[in-house]
């Protein structure tokens, strides 16, 4: 378990949703991380509750904090990521959503299963076609493959069902087939989007997920 303070990594200075990198981004991430790691609930609580607007640059460092030895700090980091995801998933914020999804996809390679698992579920809320390949890789991960399967089921894009079908055929690097892939494919009516899903796919890519 991690017990050291998490510094602001390079992700904190990545371009903002508007395409520009600003020192304000790094400052806001640094402030959020410091407050999340504060042992005072009166400081830490408002920090995660208001983390949404900090956005994509905070996702990876918060993922690191999810493995902190202090349970309350780790939980606050997880909750902060959830607030960021819900903020980015609001209507009309496509650039923010894509930026946050990209950072979540980076967490899919984290050594801790709990971080990979949480990233999968957050991507099930705001992820899209671009994140499907990274998510599909975890269908062969015995620690989180069922989470990957469930998360992919929620992605309203045919790329997700194609990934599930490949897993069903054993096309995941020769590793055991994801046990739930058959059920997932059946739910998606033999490999295609069901009629309600097809309508959602044509109207709003976030339909049925983050509002």
C-beta neighbour count of 205 within 10 angstroms: 17
Locus of tokens 């999804």: 101
Looking at residue 168, what is its pLDDT? 79
CA distance 39 to 159: 43
Taking 70 as the pLDDT cut, the residues of the chain under it are 1-24, 171-211
Containing 153, the helix (H) or strand (E) segment is helix 145-153
Looking at residue 190, what is its pLDDT? 44
CA distance 23 to 52: 18
Looking at residue 196, what is its pLDDT? 38
Looking at residue 194, what is its pLDDT? 42
How does DSSP classify residue 111?
Answer: S
Closest by Cα among 79, 64, 71, 81 to 5: 64
- The alpha carbon torsion through 109, 92, 80, 134 (nearest 10 deg) reads -10
* Coil vs helix vs strand at 166: helix
Please write the tens of the pLDDT for every residue from 109-132.
999 999 999 999 999 999 999 999
* Coil vs helix vs strand at 68: strand
């Amino acid at each position: 378990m991690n017990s050291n303070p998490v510094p602001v990594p390079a992700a904190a200075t990545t371009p903002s949703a508007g395409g520009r990198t600003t020192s304000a981004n790094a400052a806001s991430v640094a402030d959020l991380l410091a407050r999340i790691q504060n042992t005072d609930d009166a400081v830490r609580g408002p920090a995660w509750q208001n983390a949404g607007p900090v956005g994509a640059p905070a996702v990876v460092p918060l993922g690191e904090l999810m493995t902190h030895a202090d349970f309350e700090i780790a939980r606050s980091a997880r909750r902060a990521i959830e607030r960021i995801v819900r903020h980015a998933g609001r209507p009309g914020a496509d650039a923010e959503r894509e930026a946050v999804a990209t950072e979540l996809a980076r967490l899919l390679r984290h050594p801790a299963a709990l971080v990979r698992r949480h990233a999968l579920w957050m991507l099930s809320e705001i992820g899209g076609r671009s994140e499907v390949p990274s998510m599909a890789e975890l269908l062969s991960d015995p620690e989180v493959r069922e989470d990957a399967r469930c998360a992919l089921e929620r992605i309203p894009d045919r790329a997700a069902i194609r990934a599930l079908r490949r897993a069903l055929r054993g096309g995941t690097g020769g590793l055991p087939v994801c046990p739930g892939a058959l059920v997932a494919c059946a739910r998606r009516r033999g490999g295609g989007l069901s009629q309600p899903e097809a309508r959602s796919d044509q109207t709003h890519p976030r339909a049925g997920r983050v509002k």
